[in-house]
Structures are given as structure tokens and as C-alpha cells.
């Protein structure tokens, strides 16, 4: 099964170039040229990953896309693509990774693959943990009423 990526950028040259590179590597790529279009596509389809430019129609358009992606029930990995990297946690918001452009194509592909693998591992661990917690709750003996009775002497 091909892994699906939503690629979001308002610069057509970057959008088409990255789309071609990712498709050559076997990804199924859907594109959007604005945050508004991306949020619509996030509701219409499921993606394994969202790669979004940070600055598009507004300074925070990419963060809006990242937030919308993280709210999706299928929980895709999210990467911000930017030419203006911020230091520390200022950039992160709901993104898992920051990709700085321009970038060496092989380095970009390595980062995408690593993020997809680590994100899928996190999702699988969360599913296993939830299953263990559910099983433990079902097996736990019922506790008797533990209210203290205080005499009024």
C-alpha cells in the first residue's frame, strides 16, 4: 500500500518539484496551495503524513494546517516546511518535525521516512497501551464501598 502524503505550499514550483520527487519514491501525493484548501482535503481524505509550508497566505498558515491535521482522527505525522526556521520550541505547535528549505533531496527523503516510521511506532504503542489498560480495567475486582462511617460521639 502506498503511503499518502498531503503536500501544502503556495509556491507552485516547490509544490510540483516536491510532488514529483515524492511520487518517484513511491508515495501517493495530494497537493494543496493554501491552508484553506489543505484543511478541506484533511477532512475529505486520510493521509499518513502532512508536509506544509509554514508561511503561506498568513504567517501562521502552516501552523493552522498542522493543528487541523493533529485533530484528524487518523492522526497523520506532520512536518513544517520553511525557509525561515525558528529556534527551540517556538516553531513546533502541533508539528512533529521542521524541514528547512532548500534541502538536499536525499536528506529530505531520509527525514520523511524517519518521521513516518517513528510516528507509526508512537501510534502503535498508544494502541497497545490502551488495550492493556482496557484489559486491566475489565479484570480488576470490584472494590467495596470505601466510605468511612464516622460516629457522632
Q: Annotate 2-24 with DSSP letters as a single string.
A: PPEEEEE-S-HHHHHHHHHHHHH
Cα 99-85-120 angle, rounded to 5 deg: 30
In the predicted model, what is the mean pLDDT of residues 64-83?
Answer: 91
Residue span of the structural domain in which 90 resides:
4-139
Q: What percentage of residues in the chain have a pLDDT greater than 90?
A: 45
- 153 domain-assigned: no
Which residues are paired to 99 by β-bridges? 81
- 85 domain-assigned: yes
- 79 domain-assigned: yes
- 149 domain-assigned: no
Per mean pLDDT, which of 25-29, 86-90, 92-96 is the most reliable?
25-29
Per-residue confidence at 68, pLDDT binned at 50, 70, 90? very high
Where would I find the H helices in the chain?
Answer: 12-24, 35-44, 61-71, 105-139
- 51 domain-assigned: yes
Per mean pLDDT, which of 38-42, 117-121, 142-146 is the most reliable?
38-42
Number of folded domains that form the chain: 1
pLDDT (tens digit per residue) in 121-152: 888 888 888 878 877 777 766 555 544 444 45
- 145 domain-assigned: no
The pLDDT mean for the chain works out to 84
The CATH number given to whatever domain includes residue 100 is 3.40.50.2300
- 105 domain-assigned: yes
Amino acid at each position: 500500500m502506498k503511503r499518502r502524503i498531503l503536500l501544502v505550499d503556495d509556491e507552485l514550483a516547490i509544490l510540483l518539484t516536491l510532488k514529483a520527487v515524492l511520487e518517484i519514491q513511491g508515495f501517493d501525493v495530494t497537493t494543496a496551495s493554501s491552508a484553506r484548501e489543505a484543511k478541506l482535503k484533511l477532512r475529505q481524505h486520510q493521509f499518513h503524513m502532512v508536509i506544509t509550508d509554514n508561511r503561506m497566505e498568513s504567517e501562521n498558515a502552516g501552523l493552522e494546517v498542522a493543528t487541523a491535521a493533529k485533530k484528524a482522527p487518523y492522526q497523520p505525522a506532520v512536518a513544517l516546511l520553511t525557509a525561515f526556521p525558528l529556534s527551540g520550541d517556538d516553531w513546533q505547535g502541533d508539528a512533529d518535525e521542521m524541514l528547512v528549505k532548500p534541502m538536499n533531496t536525499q536528506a529530505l527523503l531520509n527525514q520523511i521516512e524517519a518521521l513516518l516510521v517513528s510516528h507509526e511506532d508512537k501510534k502503535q504503542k498508544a494502541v497497545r497501551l490502551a488495550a492493556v489498560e482496557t484489559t486491566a480495567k475489565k479484570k480488576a475486582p470490584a472494590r467495596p464501598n470505601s466510605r468511612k462511617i464516622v460516629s457522632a460521639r
